[in-house]
Structure 1
């Protein structure tokens, strides 16, 4: 029960924002306890639809109803909470990657820490440290694959796991280039979408795209570190430029080094296998999936030997 005059602090997701001629406007919020409350926000301050905030409020009476007047509110990504608690809230409010973010973060940071080439390690670590908060929040796509909160980190981690088999079979592959190329290949998707919770493309995302932005980012960081003329930088840039393989998919060059070709294959495998797995989960054994654009609009049969 909410009592007038009492203070209430909670995480909540904004569902609806109404206009008002009063000093504050009403916001429909679902709380972390799955309750619906009306939070009043001062006209001089703005909240965004579908976003999670930590609200500091006080219960007031407004037109014979109890509302919660917000004294402060902070986006969840700017709050100082443990990764486990943030992940729990994200999974409650949004469609979220089927992962444990703590374990994935540990694996990715171990992979970066094991890079031996100084140029590649310094560039990879500086970019990762600068953007890691968004890296673990953003989706990998708007609709076709890993299109949910933390999809980018999930996709990257899956590619790293797949790459271990490739490197075990093909010893000519350079581990440092493989690891760095995988971690950096999609990192500029954090600039391609309007926000992590509502993955619409930005103008910059539509006109420039994450491939070109990623190459520019590597060049910028390499220049800051004094590495811009090194071969390692050229190789990393080539991996990013070519990882979509085809020009109509955004790559101006096809892969011309072994690591770029393998990363293209691994990227393609994971993006398609992830979608296939999700669609198979939606049907019963003995049924066909719906047609899938990423798989040439084919329908796949879920046979009775399929692992659940």
Structure 2
């Protein structure tokens, strides 16, 4: 009997009552397993396998007796992050760090309708929120990318709040926390995401507005100005209609949210490109920054 985590590389269906799995374990070693033909496993997924030795066609092999998806088996954030980093591209910050920072911002919001609506939506989606990417490609397109993007935006918001006293802190922080929350509904999963049917036909912006409205109604807050303002924050954060926003920002905090989102989505891509660029040369063309190429200076910081 043995047990280990491994990612399924290929599934080979056979004429027997078991199929063949080719998996790669934590050490990067490839193993061949046999599993019941009706087992609900998928290529590209990581499972905790329990196996036992068998003889199949005069050869010693391993038969899977139990399998549990990684996210169900590894409940501790630290252990889950470690395994995610082994098998997938993971955020450059741990779930524990991101959660501590984000929940500190939540805790410091003033009591009132904005906090009540934001907290209710956060609690509804927080497990998926720390796993999902922020996009399928371009920026923060890795596991934990949505939370990493959001937490970076919260820290960027601090700069604007420190300079422009007329900005409403709770509204801006609430808008940052909610603006992409419905990516967890727009995308199919956190590992190899595609757009869901609702994601393609409606999109995370409209989904987010509906989520705010539904939550406000449940809390008895639908008729408040705060509900309307949060809806506007989510609705307008892409600014342009061809990027999904039917309305441009018409409150200061919504404009701030748009610029913060735009800054982080572009600078995250630029930072990744510069990390792969030799000093004295230019990055590759970057589609999210008008296909420009950026020079990496020889001088050290």
Q: Deviations over 1:277-308 (max 9, x none)?
A: 1001111100001111111011100011354x
Equivalence for 2:281: 287
| 71-80 or 149-158, which deviates more | 71-80
> How does the TM-score come out when normalised to structure 1?
0.94
Distance 1:244 1:306, change over 3 A: farther
For the residue of structure 2 that corresponds to 1:91, the secondary structure is: helix
| 25-34 or 134-143, which deviates more | 25-34
How far off is 1:117 after superposition? 3.4
Aligned runs of 1:78-117 on 2, under 5 Å?
78-117=72-111
State the alpha-carbon separation in 1 of the partners of residues 250 and 265 from structure 2: 22
How far off is 1:195 after superposition? 1.4
Equivalence for 2:14: 20
2:3–2:51 Cα contact (<8 Å) kept:
yes
Equivalence for 1:4: none
For the residue of structure 2 that corresponds to 1:269, the secondary structure is: helix
Q: Deviations over 1:57-105 (max 9, x none)?
A: 2122222333322222111122243111110111111111111221111
1:285–1:306 Cα contact (<8 Å) kept:
no
State the alpha-carbon separation in 2 of the partners of residues 214 and 258 from structure 1: 20
Q: Does 1:207 align with 2:201?
A: yes
Distance 1:83 1:290, change over 3 A: same
Q: Deviations over 1:141-191 (max 9, x none)?
A: 111100111110110010001000010001111111111111110011112
1:242 aligned residue (236, 240, 262): 236
State the alpha-carbon separation in 1 of the partners of residues 218 and 195 from structure 2: 29
State the alpha-carbon separation in 1 of the partners of residues 276 and 152 from structure 2: 21
Aligned runs of 1:172-187 on 2, under 5 Å?
172-187=166-181
Gaps of 5+ in 2: none
2:134–2:141 Cα contact (<8 Å) kept:
yes
How far off is 1:34 after superposition? 2.4
Matched positions, count? 301
1:160–1:182 Cα contact (<8 Å) kept:
yes
Gaps of 5+ in 1: 1-6
State the alpha-carbon separation in 1 of the partners of residues 107 and 217 from structure 2: 22
State the alpha-carbon separation in 1 of the partners of residues 60 and 261 from structure 2: 52
